[in-house]
Amino acid sequence: MMKRLLLISGFLFCATLYLMAPTVQAQPEVRASPAAKVSQTIGTTVVDISYSRPGVKGRQIFGDLVPWGQPWRAGANEPTTFTYSNDVVIQGQPLEAGTYNFFVRPAESGDWEAIFTTEVRWGTQFDQAEPVLTVNVTPQDAPAQEWLIYRFENLSPTSADLILHWADKQLPITIQVGN
């Protein structure tokens, strides 16, 4: 009986020490391209964008780091995602409510393609997704922007221009809602 009490007491003592010991938590990873989110309500439609913000860091971006004619995930790290709470119209083309990965195919001259694909949870490659909508967008020369950013301009109750701005380019994409 005494051995049993000592064994139980020893077990409880060790368990107590284990539970009271400070836990070592891994420090979050500091990313070179920090995560970002932007959200905008247009009418009653909520548009959420999740992306990572790469920096220019002295590099040539378009035509080099982001090659001409190749799909680019329009961010860094994980795929850039767009979520629409209701059906929308992008550059005059309908897109159902849902979550999409967003890619851009820059062109050396002329319009660029904005491509919405099925959601890819792992990986960042364009060939892992199915294109749902591709629209042409005219890029604009813009003041230097070190960190990639998405912002909304020209907001009205039925539309807004989403601006992707990085390096010396910005890409305005018109979003319209039916409510």
pLDDT the model gives residue 33:
86
pLDDT value, residue 152: 98
Cα 15 to Cα 9, 23, 24, 74, distances in angstroms: 10, 14, 17, 50
pLDDT beyond 60 at 124: no
pLDDT tens-digit series, residues 67-122: 999 999 999 988 899 999 999 999 999 999 999 999 999 999 999 999 999 876 65
Q: Where do runs of H (alpha helix) occur along the chain?
A: 2-20
So what's the pLDDT on residue 29? Answer: 76
What confidence tens digit (pLDDT) does each residue in 35-64 have?
Answer: 999 999 999 999 999 999 999 999 999 999
The radius of gyration of the chain's CA atoms, rounded to the nearest angstrom, is: 24
| CB contact at 8 A, 113 and 137 | yes
User: Please, which pLDDT band fits residue 8 given cuts at 50, 70 and 90?
Assistant: low
State the average pLDDT for the chain: 87
Q: Could you state, in order of their start, the residue ranges of all structural domains in the chain?
A: 31-177
C-alpha distances out from residue 8 to 32, 35, 103, Å: 51, 49, 61
More confident site: 27 or 49: 49
Query: What pLDDT shows up at residue 17?
Result: 47
Tell me the pTM.
0.80
How far is 179 from 159, CA to CA, in rounded Å? 10
Higher pLDDT: 138 or 20? It is 138
Residue 95 · residue 85 · CB < 8 Å: no
Q: Which is higher by pLDDT, 110 or 14?
A: 110
C-alpha of 46 from chain center = 15
Exposure on the CB side of residue 96, measured as CA atoms within 13 A: 4
Residue among 110, 31, 116 at smallest CA distance from 74: 116
> Phi and psi dihedrals of 10, rounded to 5?
-60, -40
